[in-house]
Protein backbone atom coordinates (compact mmCIF):
# COMPACT_ATOMS: atom_id res chain seq x y z
CA UNK A 1 0.00 0.00 0.00
CA UNK A 2 1.55 3.33 -0.99
CA UNK A 3 1.95 6.07 1.56
CA UNK A 4 -0.71 8.58 0.48
CA UNK A 5 0.10 11.09 3.13
CA UNK A 6 3.76 11.80 2.97
CA UNK A 7 4.15 10.77 6.59
CA UNK A 8 6.55 7.96 5.88
CA UNK A 9 4.25 5.76 7.91
CA UNK A 10 1.97 3.96 5.49
CA UNK A 11 0.73 1.34 7.97
CA UNK A 12 -0.72 3.88 10.36
CA UNK A 13 -2.58 5.74 7.64
CA UNK A 14 -3.35 2.72 5.51
CA UNK A 15 -6.86 3.28 4.24
CA UNK A 16 -7.13 6.85 5.54
CA UNK A 17 -10.13 7.86 3.49
CA UNK A 18 -9.54 11.34 2.16
CA UNK A 19 -12.80 12.85 1.07
CA UNK A 20 -12.61 15.97 -1.06
CA UNK A 21 -15.91 17.20 0.30
CA UNK A 22 -14.37 17.87 3.69
CA UNK A 23 -11.53 20.12 4.74
CA UNK A 24 -8.89 17.95 6.41
CA UNK A 25 -7.28 19.67 9.40
CA UNK A 26 -3.99 17.80 9.08
CA UNK A 27 -3.52 17.18 5.35
CA UNK A 28 -3.95 19.56 2.46
CA UNK A 29 -5.91 17.74 -0.18
CA UNK A 30 -6.44 18.84 -3.75
CA UNK A 31 -7.92 17.49 -6.93
CA UNK A 32 -4.65 17.68 -8.81
CA UNK A 33 -2.04 16.70 -6.26
CA UNK A 34 -1.62 14.06 -3.55
CA UNK A 35 -2.44 14.97 0.03
CA UNK A 36 0.34 16.86 1.79
CA UNK A 37 0.88 17.44 5.52
CA UNK A 38 -0.05 20.99 6.47
CA UNK A 39 3.08 22.89 7.56
CA UNK A 40 1.95 23.54 11.13
CA UNK A 41 1.32 19.80 11.60
CA UNK A 42 4.77 18.64 10.54
CA UNK A 43 6.22 18.13 14.03
CA UNK A 44 3.25 16.04 15.06
CA UNK A 45 3.29 14.03 11.86
CA UNK A 46 6.99 13.41 12.37
CA UNK A 47 6.27 12.16 15.88
CA UNK A 48 3.54 9.90 14.47
CA UNK A 49 5.92 8.54 11.87
CA UNK A 50 8.54 7.72 14.50
CA UNK A 51 6.17 5.69 16.64
CA UNK A 52 6.63 1.91 16.60
CA UNK A 53 3.75 0.11 14.91
CA UNK A 54 1.60 -0.59 17.97
CA UNK A 55 2.65 2.37 20.05
CA UNK A 56 -0.24 4.62 19.10
CA UNK A 57 -2.70 2.06 20.46
CA UNK A 58 -0.72 1.81 23.70
CA UNK A 59 -0.62 5.56 23.91
CA UNK A 60 -4.39 5.74 23.53
CA UNK A 61 -4.77 3.15 26.30
CA UNK A 62 -2.56 5.23 28.57
CA UNK A 63 -4.68 8.30 27.87
CA UNK A 64 -7.89 6.34 28.56
CA UNK A 65 -6.49 4.91 31.78
CA UNK A 66 -5.41 8.32 33.02
CA UNK A 67 -8.87 9.74 32.31
CA UNK A 68 -10.55 6.81 34.04
CA UNK A 69 -8.41 7.03 37.15
CA UNK A 70 -8.85 10.75 37.40
CA UNK A 71 -12.60 10.26 37.09
CA UNK A 72 -12.94 12.51 34.06
CA UNK A 73 -16.49 11.57 33.38
CA UNK A 74 -19.79 12.95 32.24
CA UNK A 75 -23.33 11.78 32.77
CA UNK A 76 -25.80 10.72 30.14
CA UNK A 77 -29.37 11.26 31.28
CA UNK A 78 -31.68 8.31 31.11
CA UNK A 79 -28.88 5.77 31.13
CA UNK A 80 -29.68 3.64 34.15
CA UNK A 81 -26.88 1.20 33.55
CA UNK A 82 -23.98 3.54 33.93
CA UNK A 83 -24.61 7.08 35.00
CA UNK A 84 -20.95 8.06 34.93
CA UNK A 85 -19.08 7.61 31.69
CA UNK A 86 -15.47 8.30 30.96
CA UNK A 87 -15.16 11.11 28.50
CA UNK A 88 -13.71 9.68 25.26
CA UNK A 89 -10.57 11.53 24.26
CA UNK A 90 -8.78 10.79 21.02
CA UNK A 91 -5.03 10.77 21.48
CA UNK A 92 -4.20 12.63 18.25
CA UNK A 93 -4.54 16.38 18.82
CA UNK A 94 -6.08 18.85 16.38
CA UNK A 95 -3.72 21.63 15.45
CA UNK A 96 -4.72 25.22 14.78
CA UNK A 97 -2.06 27.53 13.36
CA UNK A 98 -1.54 30.84 15.12
CA UNK A 99 -2.68 32.88 12.12
CA UNK A 100 -6.04 31.11 12.08
CA UNK A 101 -6.35 31.35 15.84
CA UNK A 102 -5.84 35.09 15.82
CA UNK A 103 -8.68 35.38 13.32
CA UNK A 104 -10.96 33.22 15.48
CA UNK A 105 -10.00 35.15 18.61
CA UNK A 106 -10.81 38.51 17.07
CA UNK A 107 -14.12 37.19 15.81
CA UNK A 108 -15.10 35.80 19.20
CA UNK A 109 -14.17 38.94 21.13
CA UNK A 110 -16.24 40.97 18.70
CA UNK A 111 -19.17 38.62 19.04
CA UNK A 112 -19.22 38.49 22.83
CA UNK A 113 -18.86 42.25 23.15
CA UNK A 114 -21.76 42.78 20.78
CA UNK A 115 -23.96 40.23 22.52
CA UNK A 116 -23.26 41.78 25.93
CA UNK A 117 -24.34 45.14 24.50
CA UNK A 118 -27.42 43.46 23.08
CA UNK A 119 -28.34 42.01 26.48
CA UNK A 120 -27.82 45.33 28.25
CA UNK A 121 -30.05 46.94 25.63
CA UNK A 122 -32.93 44.46 25.59
CA UNK A 123 -33.12 44.45 29.39
CA UNK A 124 -32.64 48.24 29.36
CA UNK A 125 -33.84 50.80 26.84
CA UNK A 126 -34.59 48.33 24.06
CA UNK A 127 -33.17 50.50 21.28
CA UNK A 128 -32.39 47.61 18.95
CA UNK A 129 -35.98 46.47 19.23
CA UNK A 130 -37.36 49.95 18.72
CA UNK A 131 -35.20 50.33 15.62
CA UNK A 132 -36.55 47.05 14.24
CA UNK A 133 -33.16 45.40 13.84
CA UNK A 134 -34.34 42.41 15.82
CA UNK A 135 -38.09 41.71 16.06
CA UNK A 136 -39.36 42.61 19.49
CA UNK A 137 -41.75 39.69 19.67
CA UNK A 138 -38.91 37.30 18.91
CA UNK A 139 -36.92 38.62 21.86
CA UNK A 140 -39.74 39.09 24.36
CA UNK A 141 -41.30 35.78 23.34
CA UNK A 142 -38.07 33.84 23.66
CA UNK A 143 -38.39 31.15 26.36
CA UNK A 144 -35.10 32.32 27.85
CA UNK A 145 -36.05 36.00 28.02
CA UNK A 146 -36.43 36.95 31.70
CA UNK A 147 -38.66 39.96 32.26
CA UNK A 148 -37.45 39.87 35.88
CA UNK A 149 -34.12 41.19 34.58
CA UNK A 150 -35.58 44.37 33.08
CA UNK A 151 -33.93 47.35 34.71
CA UNK A 152 -31.58 45.26 36.85
CA UNK A 153 -28.03 46.65 36.99
CA UNK A 154 -25.36 44.17 35.98
CA UNK A 155 -21.74 44.77 37.07
CA UNK A 156 -19.61 46.03 34.16
CA UNK A 157 -22.59 45.21 31.92
CA UNK A 158 -20.97 41.80 31.69
CA UNK A 159 -24.10 39.73 31.32
CA UNK A 160 -22.07 36.96 29.75
CA UNK A 161 -18.86 36.34 31.65
CA UNK A 162 -18.21 32.92 30.19
CA UNK A 163 -19.12 32.06 26.62
CA UNK A 164 -18.42 28.91 24.67
CA UNK A 165 -19.07 29.37 20.97
CA UNK A 166 -19.02 26.42 18.62
CA UNK A 167 -16.84 27.07 15.59
CA UNK A 168 -16.94 24.83 12.54
CA UNK A 169 -14.96 24.86 9.36
CA UNK A 170 -15.86 23.91 5.81
CA UNK A 171 -14.02 24.62 2.58
CA UNK A 172 -15.62 28.08 2.84
CA UNK A 173 -13.79 28.83 6.08
CA UNK A 174 -14.70 29.17 9.75
CA UNK A 175 -18.25 29.83 10.93
CA UNK A 176 -19.98 30.12 14.27
CA UNK A 177 -22.51 27.33 14.55
CA UNK A 178 -23.94 28.43 17.87
CA UNK A 179 -23.17 30.40 21.00
CA UNK A 180 -23.50 29.00 24.51
CA UNK A 181 -24.14 31.86 26.87
CA UNK A 182 -26.06 30.37 29.73
CA UNK A 183 -23.89 27.76 31.45
CA UNK A 184 -21.39 26.67 28.81
CA UNK A 185 -19.51 23.53 29.76
CA UNK A 186 -16.51 21.64 28.48
CA UNK A 187 -13.61 23.76 29.64
CA UNK A 188 -12.43 21.21 32.19
CA UNK A 189 -12.34 18.57 29.48
CA UNK A 190 -10.20 20.96 27.46
CA UNK A 191 -7.76 21.19 30.37
CA UNK A 192 -7.89 17.46 31.12
CA UNK A 193 -7.30 16.63 27.45
CA UNK A 194 -4.32 18.94 27.44
CA UNK A 195 -2.80 17.28 30.49
CA UNK A 196 -3.31 13.77 29.14
CA UNK A 197 -2.16 14.54 25.61
CA UNK A 198 0.85 16.57 26.67
CA UNK A 199 2.02 13.56 28.67
CA UNK A 200 1.41 11.32 25.68
CA UNK A 201 3.28 13.50 23.15
CA UNK A 202 5.96 15.29 25.15
CA UNK A 203 8.42 15.86 22.30
CA UNK A 204 5.88 16.84 19.66
CA UNK A 205 4.24 19.14 22.21
CA UNK A 206 7.53 20.90 22.89
CA UNK A 207 8.61 21.16 19.29
CA UNK A 208 5.20 22.43 18.13
CA UNK A 209 5.41 25.40 20.53
CA UNK A 210 1.85 24.94 21.71
CA UNK A 211 0.23 27.94 23.39
CA UNK A 212 -0.80 27.20 26.99
CA UNK A 213 -4.36 26.88 28.25
CA UNK A 214 -3.59 26.18 31.89
CA UNK A 215 -4.16 29.81 32.86
CA UNK A 216 -7.89 29.47 32.22
CA UNK A 217 -8.95 28.98 35.89
CA UNK A 218 -6.93 31.96 37.11
CA UNK A 219 -8.30 34.14 34.30
CA UNK A 220 -11.82 32.96 35.08
CA UNK A 221 -11.33 33.82 38.75
CA UNK A 222 -10.02 37.25 37.80
CA UNK A 223 -13.07 37.84 35.60
CA UNK A 224 -15.41 36.72 38.39
CA UNK A 225 -13.71 38.84 41.02
CA UNK A 226 -14.00 41.89 38.78
CA UNK A 227 -17.79 41.59 39.04
CA UNK A 228 -17.85 41.80 42.84
CA UNK A 229 -19.92 44.53 44.41
CA UNK A 230 -18.04 46.97 46.66
CA UNK A 231 -15.51 44.65 48.31
CA UNK A 232 -11.74 44.45 48.34
CA UNK A 233 -11.24 40.69 48.57
CA UNK A 234 -14.43 39.18 47.28
CA UNK A 235 -15.54 35.69 48.20
CA UNK A 236 -16.39 33.71 45.09
CA UNK A 237 -18.23 30.38 45.09
CA UNK A 238 -19.31 27.98 42.36
CA UNK A 239 -22.92 26.80 42.56
CA UNK A 240 -23.42 23.26 41.29
CA UNK A 241 -26.61 21.22 41.04
CA UNK A 242 -24.65 18.33 42.61
CA UNK A 243 -22.82 15.12 41.83
CA UNK A 244 -25.49 13.79 39.49
CA UNK A 245 -25.25 16.70 37.11
CA UNK A 246 -23.63 15.76 33.80
CA UNK A 247 -20.93 18.39 34.26
CA UNK A 248 -20.21 17.80 37.96
CA UNK A 249 -16.63 16.83 37.22
CA UNK A 250 -16.13 20.21 35.64
CA UNK A 251 -17.69 22.07 38.54
CA UNK A 252 -15.45 20.31 41.04
CA UNK A 253 -12.41 20.76 38.85
CA UNK A 254 -12.89 24.49 38.38
CA UNK A 255 -13.67 25.12 42.04
CA UNK A 256 -10.53 23.25 42.99
CA UNK A 257 -8.36 25.07 40.48
CA UNK A 258 -9.71 28.46 41.52
CA UNK A 259 -9.52 27.50 45.20
CA UNK A 260 -13.11 28.57 45.83
CA UNK A 261 -15.95 26.75 47.53
CA UNK A 262 -18.10 24.40 45.49
CA UNK A 263 -21.56 24.95 46.91
CA UNK A 264 -25.00 23.45 46.42
CA UNK A 265 -28.28 25.26 46.98
CA UNK A 266 -28.63 23.67 50.40
CA UNK A 267 -25.32 25.18 51.48
CA UNK A 268 -26.60 28.70 50.87
CA UNK A 269 -29.00 30.92 52.71
CA UNK A 270 -30.19 34.50 52.28
CA UNK A 271 -30.05 36.58 55.41
CA UNK A 272 -30.24 40.37 55.78
CA UNK A 273 -30.19 40.88 51.99
CA UNK A 274 -26.92 39.01 51.65
CA UNK A 275 -26.12 35.57 50.34
CA UNK A 276 -24.27 33.36 52.82
CA UNK A 277 -22.84 29.87 52.88
CA UNK A 278 -23.13 27.55 55.86
CA UNK A 279 -19.70 26.74 57.20
CA UNK A 280 -18.55 24.74 60.19
CA UNK A 281 -18.11 28.02 62.00
CA UNK A 282 -21.32 29.78 61.04
CA UNK A 283 -22.52 31.81 58.05
CA UNK A 284 -20.06 33.48 55.68
CA UNK A 285 -21.12 36.00 53.00
CA UNK A 286 -20.60 35.39 49.28
CA UNK A 287 -19.90 38.23 46.87
CA UNK A 288 -19.80 36.48 43.51
CA UNK A 289 -21.62 33.31 42.53
CA UNK A 290 -20.46 31.41 39.47
CA UNK A 291 -23.64 29.49 39.00
CA UNK A 292 -23.69 26.34 36.92
CA UNK A 293 -27.40 25.76 36.84
CA UNK A 294 -30.03 27.20 34.57
CA UNK A 295 -32.03 30.33 35.34
CA UNK A 296 -35.12 28.25 36.04
CA UNK A 297 -33.52 26.63 39.05
CA UNK A 298 -31.55 29.36 40.78
CA UNK A 299 -34.33 30.71 42.97
CA UNK A 300 -37.71 29.06 43.55
CA UNK A 301 -39.20 32.38 44.62
CA UNK A 302 -38.25 34.17 41.40
CA UNK A 303 -38.34 31.40 38.84
CA UNK A 304 -39.44 27.76 39.04
CA UNK A 305 -41.23 27.29 42.34
CA UNK A 306 -40.51 23.57 42.43
CA UNK A 307 -36.74 23.96 42.20
CA UNK A 308 -34.89 22.40 45.09
CA UNK A 309 -31.48 23.15 43.61
CA UNK A 310 -31.44 26.89 44.08
CA UNK A 311 -31.63 29.37 46.91
CA UNK A 312 -34.87 31.04 47.97
CA UNK A 313 -34.39 34.80 47.81
CA UNK A 314 -31.17 34.74 45.76
CA UNK A 315 -32.58 36.77 42.88
CA UNK A 316 -33.73 39.54 45.20
CA UNK A 317 -30.20 39.79 46.65
CA UNK A 318 -28.87 39.90 43.10
CA UNK A 319 -31.37 42.54 42.05
CA UNK A 320 -30.26 44.74 44.93
CA UNK A 321 -26.66 44.42 43.80
CA UNK A 322 -25.48 42.58 46.90
CA UNK A 323 -24.18 39.59 45.02
CA UNK A 324 -22.91 39.22 41.45
CA UNK A 325 -23.83 36.23 39.37
CA UNK A 326 -22.07 34.81 36.36
CA UNK A 327 -23.56 34.42 33.92
CA UNK A 328 -26.34 36.86 34.67
CA UNK A 329 -29.90 35.52 34.58
CA UNK A 330 -31.56 35.99 31.23
CA UNK A 331 -28.48 35.58 29.02
CA UNK A 332 -30.21 32.68 27.28
CA UNK A 333 -31.99 35.16 25.06
CA UNK A 334 -28.67 35.89 23.38
CA UNK A 335 -27.92 32.26 22.54
CA UNK A 336 -31.42 31.42 21.43
CA UNK A 337 -31.20 29.73 18.05
CA UNK A 338 -33.65 32.21 16.52
CA UNK A 339 -31.80 35.24 17.84
CA UNK A 340 -28.62 33.62 16.48
CA UNK A 341 -29.80 34.41 12.98
CA UNK A 342 -29.66 38.12 13.84
CA UNK A 343 -26.17 38.16 15.38
CA UNK A 344 -24.47 39.62 12.27
CA UNK A 345 -27.00 42.48 12.36
CA UNK A 346 -26.49 42.86 16.11
CA UNK A 347 -22.72 43.21 15.57
CA UNK A 348 -23.22 45.86 12.90
CA UNK A 349 -25.78 47.71 15.04
CA UNK A 350 -23.66 48.06 18.16
CA UNK A 351 -20.10 48.01 16.84
CA UNK A 352 -20.56 49.39 13.35
CA UNK A 353 -18.31 46.61 12.08
CA UNK A 354 -18.82 43.66 9.79
CA UNK A 355 -18.80 40.33 11.59
CA UNK A 356 -15.38 38.74 11.51
CA UNK A 357 -16.74 35.24 11.98
CA UNK A 358 -19.78 34.55 9.82
CA UNK A 359 -22.90 32.72 10.88
CA UNK A 360 -24.26 29.61 9.26
CA UNK A 361 -27.18 30.38 6.96
CA UNK A 362 -30.27 30.00 9.13
CA UNK A 363 -33.97 29.72 8.25
CA UNK A 364 -36.47 30.71 10.91
CA UNK A 365 -39.53 28.49 10.84
CA UNK A 366 -41.44 31.23 12.67
CA UNK A 367 -41.40 33.10 9.32
CA UNK A 368 -43.62 31.67 6.52
CA UNK A 369 -40.81 31.67 3.97
CA UNK A 370 -38.43 29.96 6.38
CA UNK A 371 -41.03 27.35 7.29
CA UNK A 372 -41.82 26.58 3.67
CA UNK A 373 -38.14 26.31 2.75
CA UNK A 374 -37.44 24.05 5.72
CA UNK A 375 -40.29 21.67 4.95
CA UNK A 376 -39.37 21.53 1.28
CA UNK A 377 -35.69 20.81 1.88
CA UNK A 378 -35.83 18.64 4.97
CA UNK A 379 -33.53 16.06 3.30
CA UNK A 380 -30.67 18.55 3.15
CA UNK A 381 -31.17 20.51 6.35
CA UNK A 382 -30.37 20.22 10.01
CA UNK A 383 -33.37 21.28 12.08
CA UNK A 384 -32.92 22.35 15.69
CA UNK A 385 -35.29 23.32 18.49
CA UNK A 386 -34.52 26.89 19.51
CA UNK A 387 -34.41 26.29 23.24
CA UNK A 388 -32.52 23.01 23.24
CA UNK A 389 -28.86 22.15 23.41
CA UNK A 390 -26.73 19.04 23.66
CA UNK A 391 -27.97 17.64 20.36
CA UNK A 392 -31.45 16.97 21.71
CA UNK A 393 -34.63 17.53 19.65
CA UNK A 394 -32.82 17.92 16.37
CA UNK A 395 -32.98 16.28 12.97
CA UNK A 396 -30.13 15.71 10.55
CA UNK A 397 -32.23 15.28 7.45
CA UNK A 398 -29.51 13.57 5.45
CA UNK A 399 -29.20 10.79 8.02
CA UNK A 400 -32.86 10.42 8.94
CA UNK A 401 -35.31 7.90 7.52
CA UNK A 402 -38.37 9.08 5.63
CA UNK A 403 -40.58 8.20 8.60
CA UNK A 404 -38.34 10.21 10.94
CA UNK A 405 -38.42 13.21 8.61
CA UNK A 406 -42.21 13.01 8.32
CA UNK A 407 -42.62 12.81 12.08
CA UNK A 408 -40.28 15.77 12.55
CA UNK A 409 -42.14 17.77 9.90
CA UNK A 410 -45.33 17.30 11.93
CA UNK A 411 -43.56 18.67 14.99
CA UNK A 412 -42.34 21.68 13.04
CA UNK A 413 -45.82 22.42 11.69
CA UNK A 414 -47.28 22.12 15.19
CA UNK A 415 -44.80 24.64 16.69
CA UNK A 416 -42.97 26.43 13.88
CA UNK A 417 -41.57 29.15 16.15
CA UNK A 418 -39.76 26.46 18.08
CA UNK A 419 -37.51 25.47 15.17
CA UNK A 420 -34.80 26.79 12.91
CA UNK A 421 -33.03 25.02 10.08
CA UNK A 422 -29.56 25.21 8.65
CA UNK A 423 -27.83 23.52 5.74
CA UNK A 424 -26.06 20.27 6.52
CA UNK A 425 -22.52 21.47 6.82
CA UNK A 426 -19.59 19.57 5.47
CA UNK A 427 -17.70 19.82 8.73
CA UNK A 428 -13.97 19.52 8.53
CA UNK A 429 -12.26 16.29 9.53
CA UNK A 430 -9.23 15.43 11.61
CA UNK A 431 -7.42 12.11 11.98
CA UNK A 432 -8.60 9.98 14.91
CA UNK A 433 -7.35 6.66 16.16
CA UNK A 434 -10.11 4.18 15.36
CA UNK A 435 -9.50 0.45 15.84
CA UNK A 436 -5.73 0.89 15.67
CA UNK A 437 -5.68 3.06 12.53
CA UNK A 438 -6.10 6.69 11.75
CA UNK A 439 -9.41 7.61 10.18
CA UNK A 440 -10.94 11.01 9.49
CA UNK A 441 -13.77 12.13 11.74
CA UNK A 442 -15.77 15.36 11.79
CA UNK A 443 -14.75 17.97 14.36
CA UNK A 444 -15.73 21.35 15.71
CA UNK A 445 -14.05 23.69 18.18
CA UNK A 446 -15.49 25.32 21.28
CA UNK A 447 -13.18 28.09 22.49
CA UNK A 448 -14.03 29.84 25.74
CA UNK A 449 -14.33 33.60 26.03
CA UNK A 450 -14.08 35.34 29.40
CA UNK A 451 -15.59 38.75 29.98
CA UNK A 452 -14.81 40.73 33.10
CA UNK A 453 -13.04 44.05 33.12
CA UNK A 454 -11.64 42.95 29.74
CA UNK A 455 -12.32 40.22 27.20
CA UNK A 456 -10.00 37.23 26.92
CA UNK A 457 -9.96 34.02 24.93
CA UNK A 458 -7.81 31.11 26.05
CA UNK A 459 -5.91 29.84 22.98
CA UNK A 460 -7.46 26.55 22.00
CA UNK A 461 -10.69 25.14 23.27
CA UNK A 462 -12.53 21.90 23.41
CA UNK A 463 -12.28 20.19 20.06
CA UNK A 464 -15.31 17.95 19.87
CA UNK A 465 -15.28 15.00 17.54
CA UNK A 466 -18.04 12.78 16.18
CA UNK A 467 -16.43 9.42 16.76
CA UNK A 468 -18.96 7.41 14.79
CA UNK A 469 -18.08 7.21 11.13
CA UNK A 470 -20.04 9.69 9.02
CA UNK A 471 -21.73 11.20 12.06
CA UNK A 472 -21.95 14.98 12.13
CA UNK A 473 -23.18 15.40 15.71
CA UNK A 474 -20.27 15.99 18.03
CA UNK A 475 -22.08 16.31 21.39
CA UNK A 476 -20.87 13.98 24.13
CA UNK A 477 -24.48 13.06 24.88
CA UNK A 478 -24.73 11.79 21.27
CA UNK A 479 -21.62 9.63 21.23
CA UNK A 480 -19.09 12.36 20.61
CA UNK A 481 -15.67 12.68 22.17
CA UNK A 482 -12.91 15.23 22.25
CA UNK A 483 -9.44 16.04 21.07
CA UNK A 484 -6.88 18.36 22.47
CA UNK A 485 -6.68 21.53 20.37
CA UNK A 486 -3.16 22.88 19.98
CA UNK A 487 -2.71 26.44 18.86
CA UNK A 488 0.75 26.30 17.31
CA UNK A 489 3.04 28.76 15.64
CA UNK A 490 2.71 28.83 11.89
CA UNK A 491 0.32 29.24 9.06
CA UNK A 492 -1.95 26.84 7.26
CA UNK A 493 -1.91 26.05 3.57
Partner 1 sequence: MLARVADSLYWMARYLERAEFTARLVGLQIQRLPVGTAVEVAAGWRLLFAGIGNDPPESESLGNMEDDDFLFVDGYTLTDILTFEQGNPAAVANCLAAARENAREVRSAIGPGIWSSLNREYLALRRTRLVEVWKREPELLYRDVAEGIQRFHGICDSSMRRGTEWSFMQLGRYVERAQLVCSMLVAHCNDAAGREHGGEWPVLLRACNAFEAYGRECGGVFEESAVLGLLLHEGDLPYSLRFCLERLRENLDVIGPVPSDGLGTGPLEILSRLEEHSGDGAQRAGDRLLAAGDLRHLGELFRTFHDALEGSYAFRASDG
Binding site for partner 1 (CB under 8 A): 68-71, 238, 243, 248-249, 251-256, 261-264, 266-267, 277-282
As measured in angstroms, the least distance from the Cβ of 303 to partner 1 is 20
Nearer to partner 1, 47 or 66 (CB): 66
Nearer to partner 1, 108 or 286 (CB): 286
Nearer to partner 1, 213 or 238 (CB): 238
Nearer to partner 1, 32 or 280 (CB): 280
Nearer to partner 1, 191 or 420 (CB): 191
For 50-62, letters b (16+ CB in 10 Å) and e give eeeeeebeebbee
As measured in angstroms, the least distance from the Cβ of 289 to partner 1 is 14
Q: Going by C-beta distance under 8 Å and a sequence separation of 6 or more, which residues neighbour residue 406?
A: none
As measured in angstroms, the least distance from the Cβ of 475 to partner 1 is 24
Q: What gap in Å lies between CA 406 and CA 365, rounded to an integer? A: 16
Nearer to partner 1, 261 or 393 (CB): 261
As measured in angstroms, the least distance from the Cβ of 175 to partner 1 is 36
As measured in angstroms, the least distance from the Cβ of 156 to partner 1 is 26
As measured in angstroms, the least distance from the Cβ of 79 to partner 1 is 17
As measured in angstroms, the least distance from the Cβ of 433 to partner 1 is 23
Q: Evaluate whether 433 touches 92 at the Cβ level (below 8 Å).
A: yes
Amino acid sequence: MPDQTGTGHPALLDGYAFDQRYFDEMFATGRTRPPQPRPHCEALIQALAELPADELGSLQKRVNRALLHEGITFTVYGDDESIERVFPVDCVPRLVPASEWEFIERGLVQRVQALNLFLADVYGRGLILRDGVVPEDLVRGCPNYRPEMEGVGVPLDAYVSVCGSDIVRTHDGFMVLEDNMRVPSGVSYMLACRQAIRRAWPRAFRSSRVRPVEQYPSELLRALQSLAPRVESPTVALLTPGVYNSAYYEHAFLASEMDIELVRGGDLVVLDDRLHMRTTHGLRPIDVLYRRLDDDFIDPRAFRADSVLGVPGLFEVYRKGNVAMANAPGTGVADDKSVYAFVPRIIRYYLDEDPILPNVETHLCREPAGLAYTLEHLDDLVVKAVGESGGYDMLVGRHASRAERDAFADRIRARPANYISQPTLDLSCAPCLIDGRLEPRHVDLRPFVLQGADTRVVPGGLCRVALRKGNLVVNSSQGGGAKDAWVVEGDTC
